[in-house]
A and B are shown apart, each in its own frame.
Chain A
Amino acid sequence: MDVPLIELQKVTKNYGSHAVLRGVDLRVRPGSVVAIIGPSGCGKSTLLRCMNFLERPDAGQLFFRGRVLGEGAEILRAHRARVGMVFQRFHLFPHLNVLDNLLLAPRVVRGEGREEAARSAHILLEKVGLSAMAGAWPESLSGGQQQRVAIARCLMMEPELLLFDEPTSALDPELVGEVLGVIRDLAEEGRSMCIVTHEMSFAREVASEVVMLDQGVVIEQGPPAQVLGNPQHARTRTFLKRVLEHSRE
């Protein structure tokens, strides 16, 4: 049995008196794709953000490659550089063009030279289908293009784990496909990923494991065919039914 890439043990997080995560256990094995689903407000985004310490858990432990993650700004930064994150609302840097958005982190964090970093950047832009857009400003791109740039930007740091926080929720429906396509390609390369998503058919197709979160706890997890096809828990069934009805409208 291989060591999990990342493992959360009894992670809790409160916002004031409101308990968002109430003791979550989660393991992501190398090369696996974990889809995190659940009703809005169930804590899925918070859970994802705890994995790279954008949110600091109130209690519980986080292991990366079997080693507990320590305290301190240095350790945190090193961890974040190994874990890439793609946001719902892209968050490209509007004062930098597409190429410079990609170059910033390698140059500043790893001290790479511009030439060297630019070579990788062009390869990655090619990969997300935007090699013609290197000189464009984020503002001039469509949402789908911006999200693909954001994915390329995050890949520049060669992360060992990718976190996607509802990567298609802010997109117009006709642009969802191009972003999911890129994520699907990454999954096929064998990259380790955690995806918070409402795209059930995509989760069924790409994920190796689905985790159902409700009211801050994991209520069900397993292969997609099991969790999505034959849910054991009543709340999972209700949730899936509601999502299905919504997508039929």
Chain B
Amino acid sequence: MLSVFLGFALASPCPTGTLTVGTDATFPPFSSKVGDQYSGYEIELGQQVATRLGCGITWVNSSFDGIFPALLSGKYDAVIASVTITDERRQSMLFSVPYMEAGQAIVQRIGDPTIPDIAGLGGKRVGVGLNTTGQYLLEPHPEVILVKYPAVDLTLSDLRAGRLDAVVGDRPVFAYMLQQSFPDLSLGTAALNSEQWGIVFAPERRDLKEAVDVALSGMVADGSLRALEEKYLGTAAATEGAASTHFRLDRLVVSLPMLALGARWTLFLSISSFLCALPMALLLAVARGSRLVLLRLPAAAWVELLRGTPLLVQVFFLYFVLPGFGISLPDATTAILALSINASAYISEILRAALGSIDAGQSEAAAALGLSRFQVLRYVLVPQAFRRALPPLTNEAIALIKESSLVSVMGMTELTRTGQELASRYADPLSIWPGVALTYFVMTLPLARLSAWMERRLSVGIRRAGD
């Protein structure tokens, strides 16, 4: 009896007491997030399942296109993100029993001739979310012109704007979004296929999958799953306000505190990255100017490699590939590392150019006084190079603030990601994105002013003092 009990305890699905679950909180009414508060059908579903397993639950927000690599690299125990069960995905991951019957549907502008099925999409421009089952469904049909988007609400905006002829995606998600903000669009009545959503696990977590299956079956049996559906998808489901087809200042104003939080992350990431990148860049610039091939070549290779590959790929490498080698860093550290390594390549070129522009007589005069090569750099060349490099360094800092949005693929809720979440929560890109742009502008403007002030101060100091 005791051994049976022990055996059960050892097989606990959450040895640490908490399940870490990945979700993409840009899918209302299934998963959305305001501030630190997650809400939606799948959030409540996950909480109920965890409770039945006797576990706590921690949500981690990730963009959908990065969510499976993160699961497979061991960052989450499970993913609940409106994931359709497909044979292709089954080959690399485990699925729970389904919790939602969903299918793909066609969205069109009201007034356009109705397209009833996939055959009717031939020759049309059709928007889908990247790596969604909508994409997979249409890919075998080369006559359909596919346009892929990182967030599905953008497909609806483009459809409205006339850049697309139709959009294909998860019926329940679009039903909600149309009701929220796109009254001028209509959802086709016919389902293009039959789809089921399931909770996803890494292949080695069969024990967890089985425990979750038991919990889900229990929720079907006692009607609690049905109740959840009624609450979030039924006719009485609460909405976030009236549908909007134009810019709404009130929605932007309500979103500002959220955007400010995102901006804080953006500032933290970009300032830390810039401060880390500077010394790296300085070392690189000096190494590239060295007489020693052993210093010069690796530095040149480093710079060319980083300039020659997209920042996004570098972020993916650090975030998804390194854990495979047993190196797992906190997300913020990974983000700062990726951004600063990338920036170091560009900044080093700026500093190298600035160092190279300094008259050779400066080094000679300093060397003739007995300064060592390091002292010449430290006291004579570098201070002058920094002054000359100030304008391009400012450009680089501003670029860094904007490029930091790329780490949103790792689920870092910085400004752009906050914008994505808010835009899809309200299904209202029209009101949110101007706010995001404005917030970026507010952050970069003082930087440009600061740099102008420093330049003026340095040159005025030089001219004024002698008169």
Chain A residues proximal to chain B, CB less than 8 Å = 52, 54, 73, 77-78, 80-81, 83-85, 87, 89, 91-95, 97, 104-105, 108-109, 133, 135-137, 139-141, 150, 153-154, 157
Instruction: Assess whether B466 is in contact with A95, with CB atoms less than 8 Å apart.
Output: no
Instruction: Assess whether A137 is in contact with B466, with CB atoms less than 8 Å apart.
Output: yes
Instruction: Assess whether B365 is in contact with A81, with CB atoms less than 8 Å apart.
Output: no
Contact of A141 among B361, B372, B466 (CB under 8 A): B466
- Interface code B439-467, partner A: CB below 8 Å = 1, 0 otherwise? 00000000000000000000001110111
Asked if A157 meets B463 with Cβ closer than 8 Å, knowing A91-B362, A93-B362, A93-B380, the reply is: no
Instruction: Assess whether B465 is in contact with A135, with CB atoms less than 8 Å apart.
Output: yes
CB distance from B455 to the nearest CB of A (A): 14
Q: Does B112 contact A (CB under 8 A)?
A: no
Q: Does B220 contact A (CB under 8 A)?
A: no
CB distance from A143 to the nearest CB of B (A): 14
Chain A, residue nearest B466 (CB): A140
Interface size on B, residues (CB 8 A): 25
Instruction: Assess whether A87 is in contact with B365, with CB atoms less than 8 Å apart.
Output: yes
- CA gap between A105 and B370 in the complex, in Å: 7
Chain A residues with CB under 8 A of B463: 137, 139-140
Chain A residues with CB under 8 A of B364: 54, 87, 91
Asked if A109 meets B370 with Cβ closer than 8 Å, knowing A91-B362, A91-B364, A95-B384, the reply is: yes
Instruction: Assess whether A136 is in contact with B466, with CB atoms less than 8 Å apart.
Output: yes
Chain A, residue nearest B364 (CB): A54
Chain B residues with CB under 8 A of A94: 384, 462
CB distance from A47 to the nearest CB of B (A): 15
Instruction: Assess whether B370 is in contact with A95, with CB atoms less than 8 Å apart.
Output: no
CB distance from A28 to the nearest CB of B (A): 17
CB distance from A235 to the nearest CB of B (A): 30
Chain A residues with CB under 8 A of B380: 93, 104
Chain A residues with CB under 8 A of B372: 73, 77
- Interface code B352-370, partner A: CB below 8 Å = 1, 0 otherwise? 0000000101101111111
Q: Does B226 contact A (CB under 8 A)?
A: no
Residues 367 to 385 of chain B near chain A (Cβ within 8 Å): 367-373, 375, 379-380, 383-384
17 more contacts with CB within 8 A, not counting A109-B369, A140-B467, are A54-B367, A80-B368, A80-B369, A85-B365, A87-B361, A93-B366, A93-B384, A94-B384, A94-B462, A104-B369, A104-B379, A105-B370, A109-B371, A109-B375, A137-B466, A140-B463, A141-B466
Instruction: Assess whether A105 is in contact with B371, with CB atoms less than 8 Å apart.
Output: yes
Chain B, residue nearest A135 (CB): B465
- CA gap between A40 and B3 in the complex, in Å: 100
Chain B residues with CB under 8 A of A52: 368
Instruction: Assess whether A81 is in contact with B465, with CB atoms less than 8 Å apart.
Output: no
Chain B residues with CB under 8 A of A87: 361, 364-365
Instruction: Assess whether B461 is in contact with A137, with CB atoms less than 8 Å apart.
Output: yes
- CA gap between A112 and B373 in the complex, in Å: 19
Instruction: Assess whether A80 is in contact with B461, with CB atoms less than 8 Å apart.
Output: no
Q: Does B248 contact A (CB under 8 A)?
A: no
Instruction: Assess whether A80 is in contact with B465, with CB atoms less than 8 Å apart.
Output: no
From B370, B371, B383, residue with most partner A Cβ within 10 Å: B370
From A83, A87, A105, A150, residue with most partner B Cβ within 10 Å: A105
CB distance from A171 to the nearest CB of B (A): 16
18 pairs, A vs B, C-beta closer than 8 Å: A73-B372, A80-B368, A80-B369, A87-B361, A91-B359, A93-B366, A95-B383, A105-B371, A108-B379, A109-B370, A109-B375, A136-B465, A136-B466, A140-B462, A140-B463, A140-B466, A141-B466, A150-B365
Instruction: Assess whether B379 is in contact with A54, with CB atoms less than 8 Å apart.
Output: no
- CA gap between A42 and B387 in the complex, in Å: 38
- CA gap between A140 and B365 in the complex, in Å: 19
Chain B residues with CB under 8 A of A153: 369
Contact of B369 among A73, A105, A135, A140 (CB under 8 A): A105
Chain B residues with CB under 8 A of A104: 366, 369, 371, 379-380
Instruction: Assess whether B465 is in contact with A154, with CB atoms less than 8 Å apart.
Output: no
- CA gap between A84 and B466 in the complex, in Å: 26
Chain B residues with CB under 8 A of A95: 383-384, 387
Chain A residues with CB under 8 A of B461: 137
Q: Give 9 closest A-B pairs by Cβ, nearest first.
A: A140-B466, A81-B370, A91-B365, A105-B369, A136-B466, A91-B361, A85-B368, A109-B370, A137-B462
- CA gap between A31 and B370 in the complex, in Å: 22
Instruction: Assess whether A78 is in contact with B466, with CB atoms less than 8 Å apart.
Output: no
- CA gap between A19 and B387 in the complex, in Å: 39
Chain A residues with CB under 8 A of B366: 93, 104-105
Instruction: Assess whether A77 is in contact with B361, with CB atoms less than 8 Å apart.
Output: no
- CA gap between A237 and B252 in the complex, in Å: 89
Asked if A108 meets B368 with Cβ closer than 8 Å, knowing A91-B362, A94-B462, the reply is: no
Residues 280 to 324 of chain B near chain A (Cβ within 8 Å): none
- Interface code B45-60, partner A: CB below 8 Å = 1, 0 otherwise? 0000000000000000
